[in-house]
Amino acid sequence: MIRDHFDAVLFDRDGTLIRNVPYNGDPAAVRPMPTAASALARLRALGLRLGVVSNQSGLAKGCFTRAQLAAVQARVEELLGPFDTWQYCPHDEAAGCPCRKPRPGLVLAAAAELGVPPHRCLVVGDIGSDMTAAQAAGATGVLVPTEDTRPAEIAAAPLVRPNLAAVVDWLCSSGPITPLPAPARPAPPAPRGRVLAVRADSAGDVLLTGPAIRALAHGSTHVTLLVGPRGRAAARLLPGVDEIIEWAVPWLDPTPDGVDPDSVAAIVKQLQQAELDRAVIFTSFHQSPLPTALLARLAGIGHVSAISEDYPGALLDVRHRVPEDLPETERALSLARAAGFELPPGDDGRLRVGPLPDVSELTGPESYVVVHPGTSVPARACPPRVCAEIVSALRRAGRRVLVTGSGTDAALTSYVAGTDGIDLGGRTDFAQLGAVIAGADCIVVGNTGPAHLAAAVGTPVVSLFAPTVPYVRWGPYGVPTVRLGDPDAPCRDTRATLCPVPGHPCLSTVDPAEVVAAVDRLTQEVRCAS
């Protein structure tokens, strides 16, 4: 590590600069951490720019007002001196916003305001989410533990120092701080060219990769997207895709049929004919990109990038690694950046889909809420009985309810809709479903593709999220969200396809009244924001 590669130092606030007082809105309760004042004075004397990046969910919870937050900020500066930027996330965890740590939004915003590249920022914090946000943004993290820091967070931190004075000592230990060029990263063979993007599993996974694909499109002349059969409909809606190749990748498809040598030879030939210059292989954290990288090499693709914990040998030019608790969208974007691709100016990195059809004949002119009871994985589905009760409760609350689903869900949607909802099961393709969701006040849905489709069209989500997979990775991204269900149920992190717990307690206990309240809250928030 070279200490003189930094132009700015960004601090977490509570537990790092000042004593952690939960949801503090009282300036009188502000107490600086030991060595904070002297450490900051030394950093200012070195000419470094200073910022604060802090989650402040107390705003969303109503624990304090923005005026009280500003008063606390003023007291911090009174005691510790001025900062060049203050960046706050005002949302709670369920909102799914891109700014809340461990996501990188606050770090990226601070770097942008300071005019400093993220890789020239040092992020100082007291918990693991500070370190994850730093790494996701491409910055360097230093952990200064407190009594609230978990041992696992200390063990995983890239660098640990006992206090802020020791951080400054470390910074100064290699001499004066002077600007240096950005660190070199493996460069593709040409500044622009034809790129292969691979995302070979389900529709929701393809949607989550959309921002990364837009980054590839911005930095290339042509993007070919290789998808599996379950992802093609979503791929058709993604901006930036010039060509789609469909192939059921045996090592990535959720229900593989096996490896057929003739099929493998055919896809290699098809990739050869596409005359591709680079490949970026997007996977979920539990998937290996290396067999696909071998295909790319066999097809003559000269530069291959992927996230891989396994040693890739000659299969990868860019072997990228990321923190575990990173949303899938940001995981994919970090790989695109590592491969040399950035989003175009003005692109906020949220999910997005292309033009959608007119579905007014299906929806009618009146406002409505969508309930989508089906999922691609049974363990993630809310019990039909509970979904039917939710529809009835929404109707009693004065909501018009549309129940959506595929053709294979016809019996399910008919049962859930009953006499209180409007059954659209089997009446929409994927694009039409997107249009129906786009017109809704809100959608009630489990952890499945339509939840991510809702995020892509900006519709608030009541997420009936089974905890078999981590919410931070696969929760609705970048839209107002209320999560319901038991996040600590025994099925947590099992990745089960079929529920391993009798009675499916994570979702069978969802109270329809809670769903009605969540829908009311989300629609009110959207109304106030507009």
- List the catalytic residues: 12, 14
According to DSSP, residue 175 is labeled S
Residue type, 167: V
Of 14, 4, 41, 19, nearest to 130 (Cα)? 14
Look at the block and give the residue holding tokens 């009798």. Answer: 502
Q: How far apart are alpha carbons 78 and 83 in whole angstroms? A: 11
CB 379 within 8 A of CB 505: no
Residue 271's closest CA among 217, 197, 212?
Answer: 197
CA distances, 130 to each of 28, 160, 410, 492 (Å): 26, 12, 46, 24
Q: What angle do CA 390, 395, 399 make, to 5 degrees?
A: 105
Which of 395, 418, 417, 481 shows the shortest CA–CA distance to 446? 481
299, 272 contact by CB (below 8 A): yes
Question: Distance between CA 354 and CA 72 in Å, rounded?
Answer: 43
Tokens of residue 227, six digits: 């998808």
* Amino acid letter for position 6: F
Place of tokens 């929404």: 394
The tokens for 309 are: 């914990």
Interatomic CA distance for residues 312 and 294, integer angstroms: 10
Structure-block tokens of residue 117:
């590249």
Instruction: Provide CB contacts within 8 A for 528, sequence distance 6+.
Output: none
DSSP labels for 18-60?
B---TT---GGG--BPTTHHHHHHHHHHTT-EEEEEEE-THHH
CA distance 517 to 284: 33
Cα–Cα distance, 351 to 328 (Å, whole number): 11
Q: What share of the chain is helix, strand, coil (3-state, %, to 5)?
A: 40, 15, 45
User: Is 227 in contact with 199 (CB distance < 8 Å)?
Assistant: yes
Dihedral pair phi/psi, residue 127, rounded to 5°? -135, 170
CA distance 399 to 435: 19
Cβ pair 422, 207 in contact under 8 A: no
